[in-house]
Structure 1
């Protein structure tokens, strides 16, 4: 995960990634529209208006989908919210 500015400059980064399990693949897209945007091999970007929705989804994520990445995603969301023109990127393989 990375937080980038408008020009692609990296503001913050973490090495943790989403743990792709069967439970994660089975999330209902209607209940988790932000997290449903993530795929293992592609990139996904969330802007400052989407990050609060993503945080809400992370707060109700089933335990089977959790892991160290969730706490780090929350931290990256706060970095996005604490400055202008920032975007949270999930980077696929």
Structure 2
């Protein structure tokens, strides 16, 4: 599972309540998930404030039958807004 959290100056200020199983992304059209396709199951990935804006738009296009929808999608969108609301914030995805 990939956990996700918002960090500011290296300190966690918000976190997701559920993990993302990388296999949930396998069946998706990779051209429609340019940000999510960068997640790695065994490494960390960081999105800055510009990247979370793109991610938030991408999340709106997820098919309704994907396991990420609606709980994780909505939580990620909330965390994207949290990143955008302050300077020096990033959204981190933490692989196993």
Q: Normalising by the residue count of structure 1, what TM-score does the alignment of the two structures yield?
A: 0.84
Aligned residue pairs, count: 91
Q: Distance in 1 between matches of 2:19 and 2:72?
A: 6
Structure 1 gap ranges (5+): none
Q: Distance in 1 between matches of 2:20 and 2:64?
A: 13
Matched residue, 1:53: 54
Deviation at 1:85, TM superposition (A): 0.8
Q: Distance in 1 between matches of 2:31 and 2:61?
A: 14
Q: Distance in 2 between matches of 1:48 and 1:91?
A: 17
Q: Trace 1:19-38 onto structure 2 (pairs within 5 A).
A: 19-21=21-23, 24-38=25-39
37-46 or 82-91: which moved more? 37-46
Matched residue, 1:92: 95
Q: Normalising by the residue count of structure 2, what TM-score does the alignment of the two structures yield?
A: 0.82
Q: Which runs of 4+ in 1 moved over 4 A?
A: none
Please state whether the residue corresponding to 1:30 is helix, strand or coil. Answer: helix
The answer to whether 1:82 aligns with 2:67 is no
Structure 2 gap ranges (5+): none
Please state whether the residue corresponding to 1:3 is helix, strand or coil. Answer: strand
Deviation at 1:19, TM superposition (A): 3.4
Deviation at 1:30, TM superposition (A): 2.5
